[in-house]
Chains A and B, each alone.
Chain A
Amino acid sequence: MTDLINNLSLGFGVAFTFQNLIYAFIGCLLGTLIGVLPGIGPVATIAMLLPATYALPPVAALIMLAGIYYGAQYGGSTTAILVNLPGESSSVVTVIDGYQMARKGRAGPALAAAGLGSFFAGCVGTLILAAFAAPLTEVAFKFGPAEYFSLMILGLIGAVVLASGSLIKAVAMIVLGLLLGLVGTDVNSGVARFSFDIPELTDGIGFIVIAMGVFGYGEIISNLSQKEEDREVFTGKVQGLMPTAEDFKNMVPAVLRGTTIGSILGILPGGGALLAAFAAYTIEKKTKLRKGEVPFGQGNIRGVAAPESANNAGSQTSFIPLLTLGIPPNAVMALMVGAMTIHNIQPGPQVMTSNPELFWGLIASMWIGNLMLVILNLPLIGMWIKLLTVPYRWLFPAIVLFCAIGVYSTNNNTFDIWMVAGFGVIGYLFIKLGVEPAPLLLGFILGPMMEENLRRAMLLSRGDWSVFVTRPLSASLLAAALVLLVIVLLPSVKSKREEAFVED
């Protein structure tokens, strides 16, 4: 306990410098600004804003990135509530009741419920993160290459199991991502693999290129191909931000339940905000309506508060596997790994011991980021709404421009611009073929790590594959992965799962 307090005070000491507070503020502001734009999810937002952190020292850069991350998440919910457009998959359920509330002129309370719920969930998530980080890091040091390999398998399986859509296609996308991650010089032999004698490719494909191409351009093209229907934006009707006393009475238990569910599901390898939001909403729907409460689907405030808290708690605790084990549990975290490596930080157990200021400073700044969002966004909501009324025909050229500038600034090399064009086409192809791109990014980041650990494990065991099942830790991780797969493939669960993701 005293350790926890000491660590946190170290972290707050780092985060509470004037300079770092400013960076956290700028990060939140930019993240919300881009995240609010319809049709841009957090992955594209973070990738687009990453260049803004290049010039900063590592701690400041990470703090700003965390701010961008929360801003992007929060901006997504604002769009969901006001425009009926989920900016990301995890706000799909927020749309259901949030939009109905907005239609009834209660957009203010809906946004406040999302903001306050997220803030509370963020505080709890940060505490859990701080409490669990140290002991988990101890465990991480006991991990050998075989355990790491098995853990990655578990994480990848978890990620596809909890994602929506076809399971086998998601697995195939992971494998494709792993393969793309192998392009470039092999560290062990120095052989440039799949580089076709192009010097730029010997460094591998940049993760920003893939993220921007597939998530940015792919989505813009697909958005443009849909008829621009009249988006109903509730601009004039946002008055009275504060929820009523009645609202609070309904909200509080929903926030508590959402936070609990989100925190637990977020820690699971591969777990994520999406499942947390769905689960929280389903549970709220199952609990009995109080007297005089609006039914679900017609603008119940619990239907906004619970999934938003769960979503935020989950995105907070999903930092745990990343920071302690160095393994990203979802596509957004995979992007954070890439961002950290650009700043010469290899996420993993060693960060906490070798660089405690950075580690605890980041955790403290997460809390600050959450707080800032509430302070910043509730009063500024009018401004974000203005942004939503900007016609899409002005927005998308700007988005394309930021993507192009972001890609170029990574290496100051036009080759990346040619590459992102290619991945833009591929991203659109993925959308047309109905394959989720998120597992690809996850596989892409994990590819080299996985190969490295597989090689080392097999070298140590002299080519004996049984090492993965004879070492108890590794065997139990693989068993967990197998159990997950079997559960999902059971016919009864399978139909339930499909049902859960087709929420009306």
Chain B
Amino acid sequence: MKIKSQKDFFSGLMFTAVGAAFAYGATNYSIGSGGRMGPGYFPLLLGVILALLGSVIMFKALVVETQDGDKIGAWAWKPLFFIISANLLFGILLGGLPSLGIPAMGMIAAIFGLTIVASLAGEDFRLKEVLVLSVVLSIGSYLAFIVLLKLQFPVWPTFIAG
């Protein structure tokens, strides 16, 4: 058995796994009957349908010929890692992590953190440019979101602003 379409096979696998997980999870809630559906009825139904659809997709991926095998191709680990990390760092700096004792550093620090880390995802990283960009984005965001839209953001670190 050879996989004829990699993309289809793994997407089918994903659908089946997620569908099965939802269906299994739904059995923890009361299912009820058609006339009186419990909270588990609809998710169970959908989960089973999704799992079935996934298996059909997988089956087709094993049977139907494709020209080039529909390879998934290389993962772009670098942008994936830096973009997601930049986002996480933004959250940590902005709101802090009380469970780990990390204080909130506020929006300005978060913008600098995000811009620097996100820029690492690109092909060439020029620190000077990135710092200028951070300053521009900080001023712009402050004016747009805090002054103009009056969003409730912690702007400065809590230990300074109190």
CB–CB A193/B11 < 8 A: no
Give the CA-CA distance A454 to B41 in the complex, in Å: 11
Give the CA-CA distance A166 to B18 in the complex, in Å: 19
Give the CA-CA distance A418 to B90 in the complex, in Å: 10
> A215: shortest Cβ distance to chain B, in Å?
14
CB–CB B83/A404 < 8 A: no
Question: Is A221 part of the contact surface with B, judged by Cβ < 8 Å?
Answer: yes
CB–CB B15/A172 < 8 A: yes
- Chain B, residue nearest A392 (CB): B122
Q: How many A-B residue pairs have CB under 8 A?
A: 198
> B55: shortest Cβ distance to chain A, in Å?
10
Question: Is B3 part of the contact surface with A, judged by Cβ < 8 Å?
Answer: no
Question: Is A169 part of the contact surface with B, judged by Cβ < 8 Å?
Answer: yes
CB–CB A176/B15 < 8 A: yes
The one of A186, A225, A412, A464 that contacts B79, using a Cβ cutoff of 8 Å: A225
Question: Is A179 part of the contact surface with B, judged by Cβ < 8 Å?
Answer: yes
Interface of B is mostly: helix
**What interface size band does chain A fall in?**
35 or more
On chain A, the residues within 8 Å of B30 by CB distance are: 189, 191
**What interface size band does chain B fall in?**
35 or more
The one of B72, B75, B145 that contacts A405, using a Cβ cutoff of 8 Å: B145
On chain B, the residues within 8 Å of A454 by CB distance are: 37, 42
On chain A, the residues within 8 Å of B60 by CB distance are: 168
Give the CA-CA distance A401 to B34 in the complex, in Å: 47
On chain A, the residues within 8 Å of B105 by CB distance are: none
Q: Which residues of A contact B (CB under 8 A)?
A: 51-52, 54-55, 166, 168-169, 171-172, 175-176, 178-179, 182, 186, 188-189, 191, 193-194, 217, 220-222, 224-225, 227-228, 392-394, 396-398, 400-401, 403-405, 408-409, 412-414, 417-418, 420-421, 424-425, 428-429, 432-435, 450-451, 454-455, 458-459, 461-465
Q: Which residues of B contact A (CB under 8 A)?
A: 7-8, 10-11, 14-15, 18-19, 22, 25-26, 29-30, 33-40, 42-43, 46-47, 49-50, 53-54, 56-57, 60, 70, 72-73, 75-76, 78-80, 83-84, 86-88, 90-92, 94-95, 111, 114-115, 118-119, 121-124, 129-130, 133, 137, 141, 145, 149-153
